[in-house]
Structures are given as structure tokens and as C-alpha cells.
Structure 1
């Protein structure tokens, strides 16, 4: 489980490594282009919180494992981040994209 720290908040937000790795790539790309966006994330109380992602607000990504990025999930997340509603990590379509992005491993008998 990775952690997202926003605006020097003491309590980091826990996000699955697969989702957080993709979110990091989307965020860096958007901020490098000078584009801000709304990001809705789950909170520890099973609610959701919307954050404004802007280059002037500190943000930190901490992942426990290395994750291979999937182009189709990145494209979906970039499209959502560019929409008027912003990027919502509670969106079931993104969760499905994360599950589909996981590599399959063959098992031998």
C-alpha cells in the first residue's frame, strides 16, 4: 500500500501501489504542462475527499513496490483528470483498469 501526502498534511492517504503509480505519472504530466486538476481520493473514514492539484501545493508519492504502467489506464486517468469533474479514484472504471493492468503469472503443477 502506497501513501499520498498532500499539502504537508500529517495524515497521508493510503492508496494501492498500482493506482498510486499511475496517479503519480498523471500528476507529473499534468503539472509539467501547467495544468491543475481536481482529484477525489478515499479517506480513512470510508468517505471521499476532493483535493486541488496545483504546482504550488506540495504533494508526495510513496510506493512500496515498483509498478509497470499500463498505457490504457494512463489514458483513462488523463482523460478523467482533464474533465470538469476531475479524476475520481473511487470511479469503478478505474478500479477495473487497475485489476486488468496486473500481470498474470503462470503456475506450474
Structure 2
């Protein structure tokens, strides 16, 4: 489980390493373009039910911390799905990865 540290908060936002790696690509791209936006996610299972949203701005410090030393393989489709949500009026929504089921012949 990775962590996203936002602003001066000492309490991290817990996000799965794989999801965090994909999210980092989209967030870094938006912030590099000097774009502000919201980031929303559902609370992980151990936490209370619900969801949260934060406002991301290039001037607010962010730190991505991964538990794994190995970077995951990046799914281009998942990055595109997250980027599409980033360009909507609702901002980035941390959505689950869509995995195509393998078909057997």
C-alpha cells in the first residue's frame, strides 16, 4: 500500500502501489501544465465508508511513497482512463483498472 502526502499533512492518503503509480503519471502531467484540479477516491476497506476529494494545485507539495521497490508495469489504458476523468468537470477520480478478460478458443 503506497502513500500520498498532501500539503503539510503528516497523515498520508493510502493508495495501492499500482494505482498510485498510474495516478502519479496523470497528476504529474496536469501539474506540469500548471493545471489545478480535484482528486477523488473511495476510502479503502479498513477505513470508514465514504469518499474524499482534495484540490491539487502546482503550489501545494505532494509526495508519492511506494512500499514496493519495483515499479509496476504501466497500463496505458488505465492512464488514459484516469486522464479522461482528469479532463472532466469532476476532476480526477481514482477508478479501478479495467482488465480485459482473456478469451480462450
Match for residue 67 of structure 2?
64
Q: Deviations over 1:64-97 (max 9, x none)?
A: 22211111111110110110011122xxxx3142
Residue 23 of structure 1: SS of its match in structure 2?
A: helix
Say how many residue pairs are matched. Answer: 95
Residue 27 of structure 1: SS of its match in structure 2?
A: helix
5 Å-filtered alignment, 1:83-102, equals 83-89=88-94, 94-97=95-98, 100=99
Any gaps of 5 or more consecutive residues in structure 2?
A: 101-105
- Structure showing the higher helix proportion among its residues: 1
Normalised by the length of structure 2, the TM-score is 0.82
Cα RMSD, aligned residues only: 1.6
Any gaps of 5 or more consecutive residues in structure 1?
A: 102-109
